[in-house]
Structures are given as C-alpha cells and as structure tokens.
Amino acid sequence: MMKRIFLALFITFTFLANAQDTLTVMQYNLLNYGNFTSYCTGSNNNVSNKDSYLTTITKYVKPDIFTVNEMSESSTYQNRVLYSVLNTAGVNYYKKSGCINSSNSPTVNMLYYNSEKLGIKSQKALSTNYRDIDIYKLYYKPPNTDDFQDTIFINCIVAHLKASQGYEAERAAETKKVMDYLNSTNSIGNYFFMGDFNIYTNTEQAFQNLINYSNEDIRFYDPINQIGYWHNNYDYAKYHTQSTHSTSNGCASSGGMDDRFDYILCSSYVLNNTDKVSYINDSYKALGQDGNHFNKSVNSSPVNTSVPSDVLDALYNMSDHLPVILKLKVDNESYGINEQKNNYLKLYYNNPVKDELKLSINSSNRTNVNIDIYNVYGQLVFKDRIQNIFGLRTFNYQLSYLQKSIYFIIITDEKNHNKILKKLIKQ
C-alpha cells in the first residue's frame, strides 16, 4: 500500500513539475524622466520622445517586474509611464507601486508590474542623504486560485546609490543601511537588490556590504558571477551598462560603454530554488550589449545585432544606461497538496541538492517537528526529530549517500495536525 501511495505521489509531482510560470524582470535608469535641470532640458530630454523610446523597449522585453531609477518625484510622470507607455496597444494589466520619497529627492525609484501575475503586499522606504532605497514585497498570483496573499513572495530592493568617484563612503553607508535592516528583520527569502549602483569595482565597500555581509543568509550574489574591476576594463565589455553615448548631448553622460553600474543581484534562495522562485540560467543580460562597443556608443560601428534596430535606436536615445534583465522560473506546484490551509509551519530548503541539504523551518507555534525523507518506493531514507521549535530554525544535513533521484520531504508537527509535503531532487 505504501509503495502505491508514493508511486501516486511521484506521478502527481512529475505532472506538477510542468506547472511553471516565467517572470521577466527589468531594471532601468530612465535618465531624469520628467525631471528637468540646467543640463537635462525639455529639448534634449523631451518626455514625449522618451515615451516613444521606452514604449519600443518595453514592448520588446515585456517585463513582468519593471523597476526604474531617475523617475520624477511628480505623480504626473509616474502615471505617464503607466498609461502612455506600458498600458498601450491593447495592454491594460500593468500597475505601479506607490511613491514615498522620505529623502525628498527630485528623482525617485518606481516599480511597475504585471497585475495578472503579481500584486504588491507591502512597500517600505529607507531614507538616505540622497535618495530613498525602496523595498517592495510582491506576491505571485498562481493560476486557477484566488488565494493570492500567502503564496510566493518576491522582494525587490531598488536603489540609486550616490554617483561619482570620491563618494565611496556615502555608497557604503547606503548599502550598509539596507543590509543592517534586512539583518534586524530576519529578512530571508526571494530577494533582489537592483538598481544603478554607480560602483566602479567589486572591492568598493558598498559592494562588499552586499556580497560579504556577516550574516550569510541575507547576502546577495551576482547571477552571472562577473565580479571584478569593471571600470574601463575591456574584459567586462559584455557586461557594461553605461554609457550608451560616446559624445554628450548635454543631458546624457559621454565616454562610451565602459562601466558596469546597473545590476540585479539575487539572494541564495533564488539561486538555489529554495522557495519556488529560481533564476533561469543564462537569462541575465544588459539589453543591447553585444560586447563589441567598448568605449563606443552602443549603436556605433560595428553593427550591433543583439536587438532589432528600432530597439537599439531607442536604447541609445532613451538613456545613457542600458537596462538589465533576467528571467525567473516560478514553481506553481499544488498549493492544496503541498501545504494545508493555515499551516503554522513554513519550510524553506535548497532544491536540487548535491550533498548538503540546508533546511529551514519557521513555526509560529512552539512544537516538536518530525522530518522524514522517502524515496519514490515509499522507503524511509532519512529522519530527524526536532524538539521545541519556535520561530526560524535552520538545519544542515549531509545527503551525499543518497542516489541521484527524486525524493519527498514530509514535515509534521507532534500532533500530526500540520503537514508539509515537498519534492526533493538529489543531483
């Protein structure tokens, strides 16, 4: 009987493995969109022209999560991107975040999202001496259910750090404030730190705060692992995002493509597929960057064929930055089968596993917990009994002795009232 049960579970999970969705994420510095200065004027920074360029870019990318820097503090322009760029040509599903601007900056960050797939759970702003760093918590809307608020969460931290060499201490203070906040609030999960960092080298303290913070659970990682001295370095030509212009029009920075300022960094949860959201390998790129325009305009000779010609022209004219994009896989697997409704136990773990299973259990009630792992034939291959769990606890288990296969983790409380069933892939 037990073998038949687990064979049925195996078939169920095999079917559900195909129940996946893909999200496209784009981060872009819009270069003073709607913000006019002595050098970025209505002439060389015309909003109507920028609307046309941005429409071409976003229709090509079709982002589900679209975060931006250098947006005007005025709601007029924030709404303009929503209604004159995104929700056009038959599209009507985009919505936007709010704007807090506790730092009283003339430019702010914003987040736009595909409301058919996502909603905003919460928004917080950390003020700095220059611009807010915004933290958006999105929830995923799984198909065929109205239970949106407690499914999969995606957290986007959007920052536009202080620009220019000589301001390294200011940038370090900004990223430290974020990491200290995440540490104090025990913020683990599907997190992204994205934006225009204005960082020239990985050795800068601002970047080290992100990738080598003392609490390993909240560190961030470069999904393409291109860590180094990026500034004016040909070795990183394929990853440079600034500047699209070799000569200035008065508003855009000049000098050609020679800096990697723009990033989407990921938490370990995303890279390890710990909590139903995972980075799709080789999907990260600087849109329009072909690696052949070091210290040149992005549309200069040789011909850049990485995107269609109209998109390339739009990228050149829209901003002095290139957007960065990546794709995420969201696992839709059976919310009703995997977890009971109102379960006070939450489970997080790395999946697939090579040798070590890092398993975290978060319990809102004090309880004893049973951890069992079965193979597809219903045979118990691992067990552990944890006493007195309350809050978040993390455990590391060596599973190198297990053969490469599919297994099932079952977490139950002491009275068997709460149960979590998850699939585990051993590589």
CATH number assigned to the domain comprising residue 420: 2.60.40.1930
Q: DSSP label at 251? A: S
Residues 359 and 408 in one domain: yes
Residue 230 inside a domain? The answer is yes
Last residue of a domain, one of 331, 356, 382: 331
The domain of 249 spans 20-331
Query: For 113-153, where are the alpha helices, taking DSSP H only?
Result: none
- Give the Å distances, CA to CA, from 54 to 47, 49, 66, 84: 10, 9, 12, 10
For residues 176 and 171, what is the distance between their CA atoms, to the nearest angstrom?
9
> What is the number of domains present in the chain?
2
Q: CA 425 from chain center: how many Å? A: 24
User: Taking 80 as the threshold, does the pLDDT of residue 413 lie above it?
Assistant: yes
User: Taking 60 as the threshold, does the pLDDT of residue 273 lie above it?
Assistant: yes
Residues 311 and 378 in one domain: no
Residue 6's pLDDT band, with cuts at 50, 70 and 90, is: low
Residues 172 and 295 in one domain: yes
Residue 54 inside a domain? The answer is yes
Per-residue pLDDT tens for 90-138? Answer: 999 999 999 999 999 999 999 999 999 999 999 999 999 999 999 999 9
Residues 315 and 378 in one domain: no
Return phi, psi of residue 361, to 5°.
-120, 130
Residues 232 and 84 in one domain: yes
CB count within 10 Å of CB 306 equals 18
Which helix (H) or strand (E) element contains residue 427?
Answer: none
Residue 146's pLDDT band, with cuts at 50, 70 and 90, is: low
**What does the pLDDT read at residue 416?**
65
Lowest-confidence pick of 149-153, 199-203, 408-412: 149-153
**What does the pLDDT read at residue 9?**
54
Residues 146 and 78 in one domain: yes
CA angle 205, 235, 233 (to 5 degrees): 60
Closest by Cα among 203, 214, 194 to 172: 203
User: Taking 50 as the threshold, does the pLDDT of residue 340 lie above it?
Assistant: no
**CATH number of the domain residue 275 falls in:** 3.60.10.10
Residues 178 and 301 in one domain: yes
Q: DSSP label at 83? A: I
Residue 336 inside a domain? The answer is no
The token duo for 112 is 């736009």
Residues 250 and 133 in one domain: yes
For residues 208 and 264, what is the distance between their CA atoms, to the nearest angstrom?
15
pTM (two decimals): 0.79
Residues 230 and 245 in one domain: yes
Residue 353's pLDDT band, with cuts at 50, 70 and 90, is: confident
Residue 269 inside a domain? The answer is yes
Residues 132 and 80 in one domain: yes
For residues 427 and 425, what is the distance between their CA atoms, to the nearest angstrom?
6
Q: Are strands 324-331 and 133-140 parallel, antiparallel or unpaired?
A: unpaired
User: Taking 90 as the threshold, does the pLDDT of residue 174 lie above it?
Assistant: yes
275-304 average pLDDT score? 96
**What does the pLDDT read at residue 122?**
96
The token duo for 68 is 């931006």
The token duo for 383 is 């067990």
Last residue of a domain, one of 331, 353, 369: 331
Lowest-confidence pick of 97-101, 138-142, 202-206: 138-142
User: Taking 70 as the threshold, does the pLDDT of residue 342 lie above it?
Assistant: no
Last residue of a domain, one of 331, 356, 385: 331
Return the sign of the alpha-carbon dihedral for residues 412, 415, 416, 419: negative
Residues 52 and 93 in one domain: yes
Residue 201 inside a domain? The answer is yes
- Give the Å distances, CA to CA, from 284 to 24, 210, 214, 279, 316: 10, 19, 27, 9, 20
* Residue reference for tokens 């960057």: 289
Above pLDDT 70, what percent of the chain? 90
Residues constituting the chain: 427
Is residue 70 classed exposed, middle or buried when 0-12, 13-18 and 19+ CB atoms within 10 A define those classes? buried
The answer to whether 313 touches 329, Cβ cutoff 8 Å, is no
The answer to whether 320 touches 244, Cβ cutoff 8 Å, is yes
Residues 113 and 9 in one domain: no
For residues 119 and 106, what is the distance between their CA atoms, to the nearest angstrom?
27
